[in-house]
Amino acid sequence: MKDREASEGGQAGRRTYGQTEDYILIIATTTKSRKRKSDKAASRRVGAAEEAMNRVPLQQPQSCGSWELKERLGTGGFGNVTRWQNKDTEEQIAIKQCRQELSERSKERWCLEIQIMKRLDHVNVVAAREVPEGMQRMVATNDLPLLAMEYCQGGDLRKYLNLFENCCGMREGSVLILLRDISLALTYLHKKRIIHRDLKPENIVLQQGEKRLIHKIIDLGYAKELDQSSLCTSFVGTLQYLAPELIERQKYTVTVDYWSFGTLVVECIIGYRPFLPTWQPVPWHNKLMHKQNDDIVVYEDLSGEVRFSKHLPQPNHLNSLLLEKMERWLQLMLKWSPKERGKNHKAKPSDCFSQLEIILQLKLVHVLNMMSAKILSYSVSDDETVADLQLRIEKDTDIPAANQELLLEAGLALEPNGLATQCAIDYTELDGRRTDSPLVFLFDRSSCSYEPQFTPRTLPENIRFVQADPCHLLAYSPLRRTCSQAWHTIRSLKEDWQRLQQGQKAAIMSLLRHNSSLSKQKNEMVSMHQRLMAKLDFFTTSLHIDMDKYQEQTATGIGIISQKRHVDRL
C-alpha cells in the first residue's frame, strides 16, 4: 500500500510544484531506484558506520603540543569533529574541521559559522574556544580555519532518545528542562538575527551542570546547501525536521525554527517523529500538505490507513494538565503556513515563546490518591494554601477536606494553613531524568481499611490489537512500536506499585511520628500524674495532722477560747 502511495505521491508532487519539478523528479527517481532492504540490515549499516566514524584516521596527527587526540565525535556535511584533551590541565575541547570538497558557497558559510560562534555567549549555545597554538598548521588539511568548541560529555540528544527507557518518550521533567533550555537558546539566537534552520536531536548536546544536565545547541552554520543532490542523499527523517518552506526552497523567517522545535518536542514526548516517520520525502510532503493547522500528529494505524490527530498519542509521561497545554502550544508551532506559525490570530510569532514560558512557570503538585492509585495534578499559585488545594481535591475525589490526610514522602503532614507551593515541583532544582517525581499522598481519615478500588490502566492501541488477533503478523515498524508500548506498560505498572509502596511507607512514618508524639505525651501525663499524686498524698497527710491537732486543742479548751475571741472581733 505504501509503495502505491509513494508512486501516487510522486505524481501528485509533479502536479503541485511547477518551479521545483526537477527536484521532485530526482527524489522520485532516487526513491524508486533504491532497493528496499530490511530495517535490520539498515541498523547494521548504521552501527558499522558509527563504529568506523569513531575510529581516528591514521593519517591525522595524534598530538599537538600538550594536546592529545582522543576520538572522532562525528562526521557531517562540513567535515568531522574530534575530541582533544590537554595532558597538563585535562581540559577537553572539540575541534571541527572542514573538508576540502565543499563548494565556495559552503566555505563561506563555514567561515560565517566561526564568526557567529565567536560572538555568541549563552549557556544553552555551545561556546567557542581558542584553537590551540600550532593545531591549525598541523591538523588542518586545507586553508580553511578550524573551529574549537567546548566539549559536552553527555553526548547528543539523539543518543539519549535512543535509550530503551525513552522508547515511548522522555520523562516529564526531562521534557520540561529541554523546553526551557532550547527555547532560551532560540530566543537568544533570534534576537541576534540568527536562524538555525537545522534544529534536530543530533544538533543538541548535553553537558552536566551543577544541579542538572544542560542542553546546548550546536552546528549553527548549516553549510550544507539544500540543493537537489543534498535532498536526495539525505536520510529519511532528517528532512522531517525541516520546515516545509525550506524543502520547497521558498523564502523563510525565524518560523522555520518553530517547526523544527515543535517536531523535536513531539518526538521527545512520544518517542518518535510526529509526521509519518518512515515515509519517503515525496509522498511524505504530499500527504502532510493536507493536515489542518491544529493537527500535530500524522500516523499510519495498524490497518495502514493514514490518520490525522490534534492530540498527542498515548502512552507518554506527561500529566493530563501539562498534556493539554502542550497540545495547544504545539498546534501553534506546527502550522503548515509560515505566516501563521507560532502565533494566535494577530499575535506576534515570537509570542509562542511567551506562551511556552507561562507553561514552564506552572507550579505543579502531583497528588497520589491512595484509594484509587490515580495521580491528580494541580497547578497552584503562590498565595494558594493547602486548605484551598484540599477543596479542589474534594471536587475530584469526593473525599471531604476535613477527612483528607496529605503526607509528604517523609511522612510529614501538610498543615491546612500552609502554602501549597511547599510541595510543588521545581524542575530547575532537580534532574528531570530521575524516575520518581515528588508526590503528595492522599489518605482518607474516615477509612480504617483500604479496599482495592484500582482502575486498570488503559492498554495502548497496538497491544489491544495484538490481544485481539495474536496471529496477525505486523511489519517491523509497528511491531517495534508494539514492543515499546508493551515494555512501557509493564514498567508503568511496576512504577504504580512502587508509588503505592512509597505511600504506605509515608503512612507508616507518619504513624510512627504520631506514635512517638503520643508516647511523649503519655510520659508527660504519667509524670504529671505522679506529681499530682505526691501533692495529694502530702495534702492528705497534712490534713490528718491538722485534724488531730485540732482535736487535741478542743479537748484542752484552747480551741473554745480561740472561737470566743473570733466571735468578739466580729
Backbone angles phi, psi at 320, to 5 degrees: -60, -35
Closest CA to 312 of 301, 304, 323: 323
pLDDT tens across 483-511, in order? 999 999 999 999 999 999 999 999 999 99
Q: Residue 297: enclosing H or E segment and its boundaries?
A: strand 297-300
Q: Is residue 422 in some structural domain?
A: yes
Rounded CA separation 288/306 (Å): 10
What is the average per-residue pLDDT within 432-460?
Answer: 78
Q: Which of 321, 346, 361 is the last residue of a domain?
A: 361
The pTM score is 0.79
Least confident of 111-120, 227-236, 370-379: 227-236
Beginning with the edge strand found earlier in the chain, give each strand of the sheet holding 63-64 in spatial order: 63-64, 67-75, 79-86, 92-98, 147-150, 128-129
Using the structure block, give the residue that is written with the C-alpha cell 477543596: 391
Pair (380, 357) in one structural domain: no
pLDDT tens across 62-100, in order? 888 888 888 888 776 667 888 999 998 989 999 888 877
Rounded CA separation 397/405 (Å): 13
Residues with catalytic function: 198
Pair (90, 237) in one structural domain: no
Q: Is residue 57 in some structural domain?
A: no
Percent of the chain with pLDDT over 70: 80
Q: What is the CATH number of the domain that holds 408?
A: 3.10.20.90
Q: Is residue 519 in some structural domain?
A: no
> What's residue 482's pLDDT?
92
Pair (132, 94) in one structural domain: yes
Between 554 and 561, the more confident residue is: 554
Q: Is residue 33 in some structural domain?
A: no
Quick one: residue 412, left, alpha or beta (phi over 0 = left, psi -120 to 50 = alpha)?
beta
Closest CA to 202 of 187, 180, 224: 224
Pair (136, 158) in one structural domain: no
Is 28 a residue whose pLDDT tops 60?
no
Q: Which of 421, 444, 467 is the last residue of a domain?
A: 444
Q: Residue 370: enclosing H or E segment and its boundaries?
A: none
Closest CA to 436 of 120, 150, 173: 173
Using the structure block, give the residue that is written with the C-alpha cell 496471529: 471
Residues of the domain holding 199: 153-361
Q: Is residue 473 in some structural domain?
A: no
What is the average per-residue pLDDT within 3-23?
Answer: 37
> What's residue 350's pLDDT?
61
Q: Is residue 451 in some structural domain?
A: no
> What's residue 432's pLDDT?
54
Best-predicted range by mean pLDDT among 16-30, 189-203, 387-401?
A: 387-401
Pair (340, 419) in one structural domain: no
Share the mean pLDDT of the chain.
Answer: 81
Q: Is residue 508 in some structural domain?
A: no
Pair (317, 380) in one structural domain: no
Pair (269, 398) in one structural domain: no
> What's residue 49's pLDDT?
41
Q: Is residue 258 in some structural domain?
A: yes
| Domain count for the chain | 4
Pair (242, 339) in one structural domain: yes
Q: Which of 151, 168, 190 is the last residue of a domain?
A: 151
Pair (343, 415) in one structural domain: no
3-class DSSP state for residue 399? coil
> What's residue 557's pLDDT?
67
Pair (207, 331) in one structural domain: yes
Pair (178, 269) in one structural domain: yes
Q: What is the CATH number of the domain that holds 161?
A: 1.10.510.10
Pair (159, 147) in one structural domain: no
